[in-house]
Structure 1
Amino acid sequence: MTYGPLLSDIESAAESLKPHIGHTPLEFSQHLSDLLGSRVMLKMENLQRTGSFKIRGATYRLSRLSEEERSHGVVAASAGNHAQGVALAARELGIPATIFMPLGVPVPKLLSTRGYGAEVVLEGETVETPLRLAKEFAERTGAIFIPPYDHRDVIVGQGTLGLEIMADAPDVETVIMGIGGGGLIAGVAAAIKEKAAASGRTVRIIGVQAENAAPFPVSLEAGTPVEVVTRPTIADGIYVARPGDVPFEIIRDLVDEVVTVSDDDIARAIVTLLERAKVVVEPAGAVGVAAIMAGKIHASGTAVVILSGGNIDPMLLQRVVAHGLAASGRYMTIRIPLPDRPGQLSRVSEIVSQAGANVVEVQHTRHGQGLQISQVSLQISVETRGEEHKELTLRALRDGGFAPVVINE
């Protein structure tokens, strides 16, 4: 290991961060414990200041700057959580901050970043453009560029979360969290592995990536960071094409396993956390729960899942909830061609009602969609109790002489 011991640095960082961050709670989840077959605790970092763990690494990195460096200000590029962390840390340490963000950044994250006092520059369709502009700004002005994960100080700051887990769940045997560039899991793994080893124990560290943006499995197999082709994912907070160089070295040595989950898995996890834990978690923060629900995790003893952030755009949350319910077989939109004569809508409603399902929206039209002159199209959104009940409802409609087509799968 060339990165050297980290635990002493993380413990020192924890002391320096006490005035700036909260010690987030650890909550028991009976539902997830039943699914996993062992005790599951949720580390509620979604309740952290700025709504994510990013404030830890950002604050510690900024606190290490010299007076000369602080006088030039700091600059960062981010679509959300890193931006907010740097902005708040800069305000509390009295450092000017400039944040470059893409044009499509969610409005709540934009307003929060500005609200923390940073100057925000909107440019580019993806985060690559803000990243390039931020580095050019640093070269032009002398401002210190603050990377989101690829720096030792950032990793040390994020590792303070691991110390909290060890303090609140000393019997922990498995820790599960999402991976983007790798800063969080590198810091947490370093803190927990060294802390556990000192008492003769071992703790497994499991990372979770969105399957549409998962460079770590390939990189770990290759033994070096590898850039992969990505596809869109709702987990924008961990959307990266290549691991960070600094965290990768730590992850390669200390992380036991990396698994992937689909967007459907993530959507189901967000709905479950809303319903069962009564908490709002962003997609990137819910991937650990998604992995448990998808059967990707096997653990004994106490497992801790880090809910790393809660900054989700309300409009996205609305779409994710609908998608999550559909993915769980609890909500479907179906289209049914009907003969254009009285009583057909009433017949469909009666069949759905007798099947025990609930119609929540109806659209009835005589135009378009390849209809014959003698036909109308009925589109209904139906609430069901799960996959079995969904299929029972569809079968009842077919037995009634109709041809329903599910259109939201």
Structure 2
Amino acid sequence: MHLKEIRKAHNNIKDIINKTPLLYSPIFSAINNCSLYMKCENLQITGAYKIRGALNKIRTLSEEEKSKGVVCSSAGNHAQGVAYAAKLLGVNSTIVMPKNTPYLKVQSTKEFGGNVVLHGNCYDDAFLKAKFIESQNNSVFIHPFNDINVIYGQGTIALEIFEEIENIDVILCPIGGGGLISGISVAAKELNPNIKIIGVQAEGANAMEQSFKYNNIVCLNSVNTIADGIAVKCPGELTFSIIKDYVDDIVTVSDKEIAESFLILCEKHKILAEASGAASLAALKKLNLSGKKVVSIISGGNIDMLTISSLISDGLVERGRLFCFSVELPDTPGQLQEISKILSELNANVVQLEHNQFKASNRLKNVLLEVTVETNGIEHIELIKLTLNENGFKIIQMY
């Protein structure tokens, strides 16, 4: 039943959306001893998969409903999808976004024609505001995940995957409210009942993982993750009912693990994803997928420059490519030179250095040196620490 509706959704949107590439990843395959393919929805129109569900939903509205305009709440990608689809179809749109939404997503939503209202600190706050606007203006609310026509639109991704690859063992999919994985799972399970569908959530926003575990909807008091696109406090009832029947497991990943996967994706594939988009790749290490044919959904690529910088830095630290330490030294000539000599001999490139007397515990006799160096991995860092210690320098690792 679901597959028929998803095929209908695909026919409903195929004239607009991109059929995004499905790319084989030698690096992630090697790291995890599997055959890993990436479904790159970061290369979709508006930079994320959300246009699929938004366009399908708005195209199913009656002319009377369209004349009333649409309203939605979103951390960014659904906002852009609704704004783009609405403008394309000549429908007025009001988009409520959390105040902490990245600048790029806010600006892009405005450029796509949406009337942006900033409200609250997370998706759920924006949702309440959007529902208020709906009641005040008699607009049509376009839910980002808890709507069957939105879900069917997202499920068209599974059709594209199966057109290109047969005998897939596992699909890894990020989860916020659950619309994406709901659509993909119902389509994929009808096409191949033996396939495993595994959801991925951020540790700091794991409402669906908790709900799945306890077989009852669990809402969080707050969310805290760099993956703003999947930072949802409360799952949808519709998506939860689908997920508990069609999804095999849900795992969580840390922000550090997301940052590491983001760095590999950028460095090795020259592909830019947002943090939530890289979450499915971060889950690979949490699972035993040896010998399996796996598809990871790269759900979006809408990310601002400041967040890119932060994610790269975190990823470098996580992979042992940046090492920062402090050491208190006697305030006598030659101490800094000795440290520099050791680092040079070990091929550790100094990228930042602070020599500050006022930070030392004994300001009259000592100075505190803080050094950040570029390194070649965890083993290189351990060698630097050992060598400094052997030469009498008692260092404190900052990161």
Is the 8 Å Cα contact of residues 57 and 153 (structure 1) preserved in structure 2? yes
List aligned pairs for 1:212-251, cutoff 5 A. 212-251=204-243
Match of 1:145 in 2: 141
Is the 8 Å Cα contact of residues 173 and 300 (structure 1) preserved in structure 2? no
Q: After alignment, is 15-24 or 30-39 more displaced?
A: 30-39
Change in Cα spacing, 1:60 to 1:87, as seen in structure 2 (3 Å) is same
Change in Cα spacing, 1:231 to 1:69, as seen in structure 2 (3 Å) is closer
State the shift of 1:361 in Å.
Answer: 1.1
Consecutive unaligned residues in structure 1, runs of 5 or more: none
State the shift of 1:365 in Å.
Answer: 1.5
In the alignment, the residues of structure 1 paired with residue 102 and residue 274 of structure 2 have an alpha-carbon distance, to the nearest angstrom, of 12
| Structure 1 residue 75 corresponds to structure 2 residue 67 | no
Question: TM (normalized to structure 2)?
Answer: 0.97
Of the three residues 352, 358, 379, the one matched with 1:388 is 379
Q: Please, what is the CA RMSD of the aligned residues?
A: 1.4
State the shift of 1:328 in Å.
Answer: 1.5
State the shift of 1:302 in Å.
Answer: 1.5
Match of 2:58 in 1: 62
| Structure 1 residue 320 corresponds to structure 2 residue 311 | yes
Is the 8 Å Cα contact of residues 174 and 199 (structure 2) preserved in structure 1? yes
Match of 1:349 in 2: 340
Q: Secondary structure of the residue that 1:319 maps to in structure 2? A: helix
In the alignment, the residues of structure 1 paired with residue 213 and residue 108 of structure 2 have an alpha-carbon distance, to the nearest angstrom, of 39
Percent of aligned pairs with the same amino acid: 41
Query: What do residues 216-253 of structure 1 show as CA deviations (whole Å, max 9, x unaligned)?
Result: 23222332222234441111111122221111111111
In the alignment, the residues of structure 2 paired with residue 242 and residue 374 of structure 1 have an alpha-carbon distance, to the nearest angstrom, of 56
List aligned pairs for 1:291-370, cutoff 5 A. 291-292=283-284, 294-298=285-289, 300-370=291-361
Q: After alignment, is 100-109 or 55-64 more displaced?
A: 100-109
Question: TM (normalized to structure 1)?
Answer: 0.94
Is the 8 Å Cα contact of residues 214 and 230 (structure 1) preserved in structure 2? no
Match of 1:253 in 2: 245
In the alignment, the residues of structure 2 paired with residue 86 and residue 20 of structure 1 have an alpha-carbon distance, to the nearest angstrom, of 13
In the alignment, the residues of structure 2 paired with residue 153 and residue 274 of structure 1 have an alpha-carbon distance, to the nearest angstrom, of 33
Match of 1:193 in 2: 189
Is the 8 Å Cα contact of residues 359 and 367 (structure 2) preserved in structure 1? no
Q: After alignment, is 283-292 or 365-374 more displaced?
A: 365-374
State the shift of 1:79 in Å.
Answer: 2.0
State the shift of 1:381 in Å.
Answer: 0.8
Q: After alignment, is 392-401 or 147-156 more displaced?
A: 392-401
In the alignment, the residues of structure 1 paired with residue 113 and residue 153 of structure 2 have an alpha-carbon distance, to the nearest angstrom, of 22
Of the three residues 279, 289, 292, the one matched with 1:287 is 279
Consecutive unaligned residues in structure 2, runs of 5 or more: none
Match of 1:403 in 2: 394
In the alignment, the residues of structure 2 paired with residue 149 and residue 128 of structure 1 have an alpha-carbon distance, to the nearest angstrom, of 12
Give the AA of the match of 2:195.
Answer: V
Match of 2:155 in 1: 159
In the alignment, the residues of structure 2 paired with residue 49 and residue 297 of structure 1 have an alpha-carbon distance, to the nearest angstrom, of 33
State the shift of 1:290 in Å.
Answer: 0.5
Query: What do residues 267-311 of structure 1 show as CA deviations (whole Å, max 9, x unaligned)?
Result: 11000111111111111111111011x333425432111101111
Query: What do residues 38-94 of structure 1 show as CA deviations (whole Å, max 9, x unaligned)?
Result: 211111111111111111111111111110010010011112111111110111111
Of the three residues 350, 358, 365, the one matched with 1:374 is 365
Query: What do residues 177-203 of structure 1 show as CA deviations (whole Å, max 9, x unaligned)?
Result: 111111000100111111124xxxx21
Number of corresponding residues:
399
Give the AA of the match of 2:176.
Answer: G
Of the three residues 256, 261, 268, the one matched with 1:269 is 261
In the alignment, the residues of structure 1 paired with residue 239 and residue 123 of structure 2 have an alpha-carbon distance, to the nearest angstrom, of 20
Change in Cα spacing, 1:216 to 1:297, as seen in structure 2 (3 Å) is farther
Is the 8 Å Cα contact of residues 71 and 140 (structure 2) preserved in structure 1? yes
State the shift of 1:368 in Å.
Answer: 3.2
